[in-house]
């Protein structure tokens, strides 16, 4: 079973769809870079908080790597 990833971003983050979609695109790009390090079979849901509006791609990449490592999803942990 392949790893499946969902991104949840609500109206509390931003009322503007343009802003929410930009954040989702940046998170997807960061996850594409991290995906080879994730063992197959994981179901991951990324929930975005309102502080994400001030973040850029590098911030998302760093935070996702840190959070996935803490959750022992990275580097083949099971």
- CATH number at 24 reads 3.30.230.10
Residue 65 belongs to a domain: yes
What are 6-63's pLDDT values in tens digits?
Answer: 999 999 999 999 999 999 999 999 999 999 998 888 999 999 999 999 999 999 999 9
Closest-CA residue to 69 (of 40, 37, 43, 46): 37
- Structure pTM? 0.88
Residue 77 belongs to a domain: no
Are 39 and 3 contacting, i.e. CB atoms less than 8 angstroms apart? yes
Residue 75 belongs to a domain: no
- Helix axis angle, 57-70 to 17-34, nearest 10°: 60
Q: What is the pLDDT confidence band of residue 76, given thresholds at 50, 70 and 90?
A: low
Residue 41 belongs to a domain: yes
Domain tally for the chain?
A: 1
Per the structure, the complete domain to which residue 17 belongs is given by 4-70
């Amino acid at each position: 079973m392949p790893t499946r990833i969902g991104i949840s971003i609500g109206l509390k983050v931003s009322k503007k769809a343009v802003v929410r979609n930009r954040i989702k695109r940046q998170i997807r790009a960061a996850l594409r870079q991290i995906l080879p390090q994730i063992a197959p079979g994981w179901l991951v849901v990324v929930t975005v908080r309102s502080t994400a509006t001030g973040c850029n791609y590098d911030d998302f990449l760093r935070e996702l790597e840190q959070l996935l490592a803490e959750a022992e999803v990275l580097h083949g942990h099971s």
